[in-house]
Copies of this chain bind each other. A is one copy, B any other.
Amino acid sequence: MLIVLHHWAADKDVAQVKRTIASLGLKPVAIPGAERTAIGVIGNQGWIEDSPFRGIKSIREIIHVTKPYKLVSRDFHPSDTVVNLPGKVRIGGRSPFLVIGGPCAIEGRDQIFQTARFLKKVGVKVLRAGAYKPRTSPHSFQGLREEGLEILDAVRKETGILVVTEVMSPEQVGLAAEKVDILQIGARNMQNFDLLNEVGRSGKPVVLKRGLSATVEEWLASAEYILLGGNRNVILCERGIRTFETATRNTADLAVVPLVKSLSHLPVIFDPSHATGRRDLVPQMALASVVAGAHGVMIEVHPDPEHALSDGPQSLHFKEFEALCRRISGLEGFMRRSSRK
């Protein structure tokens, strides 16, 4: 429920509405916005009756929100959310397009340091690399786990690069939150609700990947778990969905970028590596996402993709990645200039 007040509503009117909400055992949420004063209601499981609010003069309109998410919605937060990362790096709104690069899995100290130094050199400020690896088969490489987190902590301290890594389980959140700058919830865990709750409590910036077969509504409802836990630093990431087509690893659903931006205030990035699964398609899809309005991309790059322990076929070589970064930067500049016209 969303309660919109008349423009003339005074502080005591707002207070009256909030008291009424609280008296129902629910929680009022102030909705920011220059154009209107509004108060959201959360905490209910189902329909709320209008009757307790009927006598309040300052109320202009009561909107029943039937979506499974509220805090995530543009209705509750009309202006873009900008997520602040350490080192004055920002993502969302009109912030610069953010490129995140790195290997699928941490394979060792050298690989990570080599990649981080390369990224710094080409101007990329965030490194991705997996310590905990969710693998279909228990017989596949499961990641270096805690040892991997230590490598990430070392690389960010020595090089100053920011680091994002995936957490798969509530227990991993505490340690990971100390060792890296951004947590990631992978596609398989998009509806691991206890993990979402834990990440919500951590307050850490988090990349929330869309599930393999998650609708946009379900994806945003998963983000709602994190925001409801008190953490507004959520970055949504489209990484392709599962369809009948096998020519690509997944089907890049790029149209959700503008769609999600219309439904939610949260930043949205795109992962062309998982979305296509093919190195040769990554550059054009990464560029397309700039134009579609994404706030950033997450791209797999590896010092030696042919010998990567996972996702080699979709990882760029350093040279390819560097060329792509230049093209992204040029295209971003053009888009910015032309939107100002």
Contacts and interface: CB of A to CB of B under 8 A. Distances in A.
Contacts of A280: 258, 262
Interface in A187-225: 188-189, 191-195, 212-213, 215-218, 221-222, 224-225
A70 interface: yes
A107 to B, nearest CB: 12
A191 B188 contact: yes
Interface string A149-191: 0000000000000000000111110000000000000001101
A255 B242 contact: no
Contacts of A191: 134, 136, 188-189
Contacts of A141: 45
Given A70-B139, A191-B188, A213-B212, A259 B255 contact: no
Given A171-B170, A194-B168, A69 B291 contact: no
A243 B213 CA distance: 9
Contact of A252 (B215, B255, B278): B255
A281 B259 contact: yes
A143 to B, nearest CB: 11
Contact of A258 (B189, B246, B285, B289): B285
Contacts of A138: 193, 221, 224-225, 228
Bin chain A's interface residue count: 35 or more
A314 to B, nearest CB: 12
Contact of A284 (B247, B276, B292): B292
A137 to B, nearest CB: 3
A43 B142 CA distance: 12
A299 interface: no
Interface stretch (A87-95, A113-121, A326-334): A326-334
B194 A68 contact: no
A110 interface: no
Contacts of A258: 280-281, 284-285
Nearest to A170: B169
A288 interface: yes
A171 B174 CA distance: 15
Contact of A243 (B244, B290, B331, B338): B244
Given A246-B246, A258-B280, A192 B193 contact: no
A222 B136 CA distance: 7
A246 B338 contact: no
A140 interface: yes
A325 interface: no
Contacts of A259: 247-248, 278, 281
A135 interface: yes
B285 A215 contact: no
A36 to B, nearest CB: 22
Give the 4 A-B CB pairs with smallest separation, nearest first: A68-B137, A213-B213, A169-B194, A188-B191
